[in-house]
Structure 1
Amino acid sequence: MTSENSQSLSKVTKSILNQNGIKLNKNLGQNYLIDKNKRDQIVGFGNISKEDVILEIGSGIGTLTIELAKKAERVIAIEQDTKICEILARRLKEEKIDNVELINDDALKVDFPPFNKIISNLPYQISSPITFKFLDYDFDLAILMYQKEFADRMNGKVGTKDYSRLSAMLYFKCDVEKLTDVSCESFIPKPQIDSTVVKLTPKENKISDDDFETYSKFTKALFQHRNKKIRNALIDSRHIISGIDKKVLKRNLNEIEDERLIEYLKKRVVVLDPEEILFISRELKPAFEE
């Protein structure tokens, strides 16, 4: 680290881990931020007021948690590792911080208490499922740190290698804004790839909940086979959309008369933009009913 501030956070983090005999497991996404400047920048991006209730996933020893708690009404901090959770509980007590609700559990399995902002250095191995889970909740904004290549996929353009189920799902739900990159040198243990902080701002609902549920199923089915033709991708992943028999689905697809739909079925998944996937999901939904 180049600055004294960065060094002090690094020293504090290493000292706490050493005192408690903690060896971080990067395979579990335990990469702790040790750059104070970046930590403060992330907190600043949240534009936190005393009315905000902030959800933090993977709170660790409290690098973000303690600073968030100083500015917010309340912080809901979820940490799966029991020993690390106990360390954070002690730190909060020592700092006389009483506005943190600490949850020792798997963030993918618990229902989140009410919140209005999400600010997290996410455990990298749950980046995809936790992001999809966020989309089920209403919030004002999210400031999230991801591995750089994952963040690139969030805004993937149609037809590129970064275009994915993730980018297609976010299209109707959130605006995605890249805020800053964070060097791999800013963490312990040092990950192999740099990170990116992004801001998610929910969009006004462009489609109904029912349409989005159907769209979600079709998007998941299609991107299981992103380079296949749409007809084949849907047949191969039909179980994601419904329990329809393969022969029945083939018959239903063969009976389609709409020329536009027939042409779409011949295209490859990766060339369809989200609006086209929405059109297909609406129009083809009846074909998946036995």
Structure 2
Amino acid sequence: MKFVTNSYSLAKETKEILQENGIHLNKKLGQNYLIDDFKRKKIISFGELNKDDIVLEIGPGIGTLTIELAKKAKKVIAIEQDLNIFNILKKRLDNENIQNVELIHGDAVKIDFPKFNKIISNLPYQISSPITFKFLEYDFDLAILMYQKEFARRMKVKLNTKDYSRLSAMLYFKGNFEFLDDVSPESFIPKPKIDSTVIKLTPKNIPIDLDIINNQYKKICKALFQHKNKKIRNALIDSRHEIGYSDKKELKSLLNNLVKVEPDLEAFLSRRTITMAPKEILSLTKILKAIVR
């Protein structure tokens, strides 16, 4: 697909809007605005939008993606936490008489999402992890998401590497992902220090017990990956609060008693988290299910 680039005008438009409203972007809050029109067109094209789609956008900023998404989708739900930026976008939407955007002021990590079927977002990087886990609690067709490249690498399961993470283990059962495009720091203002990556995330439909994945498995992963280089027994005990315990002796006793009736448990407890494939962590979770609170 061929795109006509207009990066200069997008950059100029963005800077003028920010200057007119006295806005100084804060990199610490993940406020890196896309100013490359070529990349914007590619990102939107990846979403394969039609007039039946309801698109969720997290961190719309001044509407760089929002306004173009609204032209192609039935509706856009845009959630912006910064009140000043929220008001700028609201004014832009009113001025351009765009009526199919539901603009919500709030913290996307904390609020419930209205109904949607696609997600397209240049995510605020500081919420990449919690917002991705939250996305996976919803049913949707596909998500086109921009992350820091370093974060995106952690989505792929790579045992015995520093990139193997709780995110990897959760995504294994809940989502398929595809790397679509890299975006350089020059495509943003202010320039981030590292490259960004656009990925396509789609829910994975495999025959698993979603209840155990969303509850006990999620808790076990959270406990284990806080100490992924430790043996699993020690990781569970050191992060016992994640599975509902405050008393170290109580959890030790429960694990010891469970070993007596579950012959496979001891082998798991003596391994390190970083060596455990997601399917093995799920097998461990099924053994521990009864004691996870």
Which category of TM-score, normalised to the shorter sequence, fits these structures? over 0.9
Partner amino acid, structure 1, of 2:271: K
CA distance in 1, matches of 2:211, 2:175: 18
The aligned residue for residue 9 of structure 1 is: 10
> Distance between the aligned counterparts of 1:57 and 1:287, measured in 2?
36
1:253 aligns with 2:255: yes
The CA distance in 1 between the partners of 2:147 and 2:102, in whole Å, is 24
Task: String of CA shifts for 1:156-187, please: whole Å, max 9, x gaps.
Answer: 41211111000101111000111000001100
- Deviant stretches of 4+, over 4 Å: none
State the match for 1:60 in structure 2.
Answer: 61
Partner Cα separation in structure 2 for residue 182 and residue 206 of structure 1: 35
In 1, Cα distance between equivalents of 2:189 and 2:156: 28
Residue aligning to 1:74: 75
Structure 1 residue 266 and structure 2 residue 270: aligned?
A: yes
What's the counterpart of residue 239 of structure 2?
Answer: 237
1:76-155 superposed matches below 5 A: 76-155=77-156
TM-fit CA distance, 1:93: 1.8
Distance 1:113 1:259 in 2: 46
Paired with 2:291 and 2:79, the residues of 1 have a C-alpha distance of 42
For the residue of structure 2 that corresponds to 1:97, the secondary structure is coil
Give the unaligned 5+ runs of structure 1. none
Give the corresponding residue for 1:282. Answer: 286
- The two structures have a TM-score, normalised by structure 2, of 0.95
Alignment partner of 2:110: what SS? Answer: coil
Unpaired runs of 5+ in structure 2?
Answer: none
Number of residue pairs matched? 287
SS of corresponding position for 2:139: coil
Corresponding residue number in structure 1 for 2:20: 19
Helix, strand or coil for the counterpart of 2:131?
helix
Contact 2:11 / 2:35 at 8 angstroms: preserved in 1?
yes
Instruction: Look up the SS of the partner of 1:22 in the other structure.
Output: coil
CA distance in 1, matches of 2:207, 2:220: 17
RMSD between aligned residues: 1.4
Q: Secondary structure at the match of 1:207?
A: coil
Query: Is the Cα contact below 8 Å between 1:249 and 1:288 reproduced in 2?
Result: no
Call closer, same or farther: CA 1:4–1:287 in 2, change over 3 Å: closer
Task: Tell whether the 8 Å contact from 1:172 to 1:206 is kept in structure 2 after alignment.
Answer: no
Structure 1 counterpart SS, 2:191: coil
Q: In 2, Cα distance between the equivalents of 1:67 and 1:187?
A: 18
Cα offset for 1:83?
Answer: 1.2
Question: What is the Cα deviation at residue 209 of structure 1?
Answer: 2.8
- Quote the sequence identity (%): 65
Asked whether the equivalents of residues 157 and 172 of structure 2 are also in contact (C-alpha less than 8 Å), the reply is no
- In 1, the alpha carbon distance for the partners of 2:206 and 2:112 equals 22
Confirm or deny: 8 A CA contact 2:5 2:38 kept in the other structure. no
1:248-285, Cα deviation, whole Å (9 max, x unpaired)? 22122223134432111111010000000000011122
